[in-house]
Amino acid sequence: MSLFCKISILFLAVLQFFTPLVAIDLSLAAFAAAVAVLLSSLPLMGKGFKKITIVFLFLGIGLLLYFQQPSSVWMAAVTSMTSLVSILSIMQLYSIPIQLGNYHLAVRYWLTKSFKGEKALFLFSTVVSHILASILSFGVIPVMVSLLGDTLKGKISHYERFISAAITRGFGLVVLWAPGAINVMLVIQATGVKWSEILIPSMILSVIGIATSYFLEAKSHLADKTNFAVESAGKPHDSEISARSKAVHVFTVVIGLLIFVIFLERVNFGSSPANRIMFAGAIVVLLWIAFFAKRPGFSATLQNYWNKDLLKTVDLAPLFISMGIFSTALQKTGVLALFQPYLQTGANEIGISALAVIPVLLIICSIVGIHPFISIVMFGHILTSLQLPIPAISIALCLALGGTISYMVSPFAGMVLMLSKFINCRAVDISIYWNLAYSSILFAEGILFAYFWGLYFG
């Protein structure tokens, strides 16, 4: 079953890649591939994701059957979020050049060479987590733990808090703007805002978030010195030259990906932002992989992607497809329109306060176990169906902010659970004791930023 699942996921990604390039209608093939992914992935899913996937699947199918929707709506429903599945599989490819290029050695070199105090070390760790997460997504957690763990343990105070704050905040803030971040795609899909419109304000907000994290930790939790021995200045060693070269590689890839996506958007390539992001991501990573084609271990690394990394999408792929079926059913059957008058009345009463209500609802849902992916889709469709005195860009930023904070403060968030397992601490320590105060400050900053950005640029 796993073999059929992997083939189906890759076939779906290939179809999505070629859809903007050919004149042939591939919608039927995409529908068949999506059904194959759904059926083959369900038996392989974890229990938590499987339950919510089945709930959305039955709700969506039930609505489509009850309202006797035509086959064209069924096809649109099944394929409405398949682009996200393709983006997931494409972004997993970035683990191949990261492994082949030994980029972890560059990070470790700068960690042990350049920092006299924990404050600078914390800022560096957060920024590196942020940059790597823009191309590795969840894969940044094991990478950064392996880099920071042995290097930092015993050499800094409050090791668990240090590594948790650096990684969760670096990763959590990147989902505000990164092209391959599912949160960004869901926000764009729910609000209709272009990726290029949300990129600049989201990047500014992420910088604000990193700066806030640094000053908050530096004030009370970071020591002035570390136990690292700092090398004396002089002629750069070979290791330093190599580390600089690898750093340039990573920055080039990230900047190149951003520029490529913006270019495709300007020339109206494809039919959706997801098409452009997936196409740009695929081209950039294939070029990066080709750069290492003659590197020893190339075949083994490709084999590892096929055997392990590709299957990391198995929990999310059917979830996205079932969410797409449910959200399309809500729109096409008119169910959402039944509640619109009541929601509009509530929206008129709270007015501009909706900016604060939006992320609060997402955060509350995440704390009780509802994934931000689901909340963003549900609230996004509801909010955009209303007439709110708020620019669409402000709504998009608030949805993105709510998702970001949800990742940090929910004990059920995959990032928190994965990190707690890797560093052997409680999930509630990471989400509540170490991130709640920071997230509260970020919440206030984000709401004000979204309001003023929408006021002047919306």
pLDDT (tens digit per residue) in 11-23: 999 998 898 888 8
Evaluate the CA torsion angle 389, 394, 399, 403 in order and state its sign. Answer: negative
pLDDT value at residue 234 = 41
What confidence score (pLDDT) does residue 315 get? 75
Q: Is the pLDDT of residue 238 over 60?
A: no
Question: Which whole number is the average pLDDT over 106-128?
Answer: 79
> pLDDT tens digits for 390-422?
888 998 999 999 999 998 998 867 678 778 877
Q: Is residue 36 scored above 90 in pLDDT?
A: yes
Mean pLDDT of 359-382: 76
3-state secondary structure 8-22: HHHHHHHHHHHCCCC
Q: Tokens 């086959």 appear where?
A: 71
**For residue 215, pLDDT beyond 80:** yes
Q: Is it the case that residue 111 has pLDDT exceeding 60?
A: yes
Q: Is it the case that residue 115 has pLDDT exceeding 70?
A: no
Give the HSE-up count for residue 421: Cα atoms under 13 Å, Cβ half-sphere: 9
Mean pLDDT over residues 335-346, rounded? 69
Nearest residue to 222 via CA among 126, 156, 277, 294: 156
pTM of the model: 0.74
32-71: b (≥16 Cβ within 10 Å) or e: bbbebbbebbbeebeeebbebbeebbeebbebbeeeebee
* Confidence at residue 306, expressed as pLDDT on a 0 to 100 scale: 87
Tally of CA atoms within 13 A in the half-sphere of 423 that contains its CB: 33
Give the pLDDT of residue 231.
44
Pick from 188, 271, 258: nearest CA to 21: 271
Q: How many Å separate Cα 287 from the centre of its chain?
A: 22
In angstroms, rounded to a whole number, what is the distance separating the alpha carbons of residues 78 and 325? Answer: 5
Long-range CB pairs of 248-251 (<8 Å, 24+ gap) are 249/101, 249/103, 250/103, 250/131, 250/132, 250/135, 251/131
The alpha carbon of 118 is separated from its chain's Cα centroid by a whole number of angstroms, namely 28
Reference 44, options 53, 56, 32, 55; nearest CA is: 53
Burial class (CB in 10 A: 0-12, 13-18, 19+), 72: exposed
Q: Report whether pLDDT(345) > 80.
A: no
**246-281: per-residue pLDDT in tens?**
888 888 888 888 899 889 888 888 777 778 888 888
Question: Domain map of the chain by residue range?
Answer: 1-79+316-323, 95-311
Backbone angles phi, psi at 111, to 5 degrees: -60, -45
What is the C-alpha separation between 100 and 291, in angstroms, rounded?
Answer: 10
Of 372 and 80, the structure prediction assigns the larger pLDDT to: 80
Asked whether 409 and 365 are in contact (CB, 8 A), the reply is no
The answer to whether residues 416 and 407 touch, using CB atoms and an 8 Å cutoff, is: yes
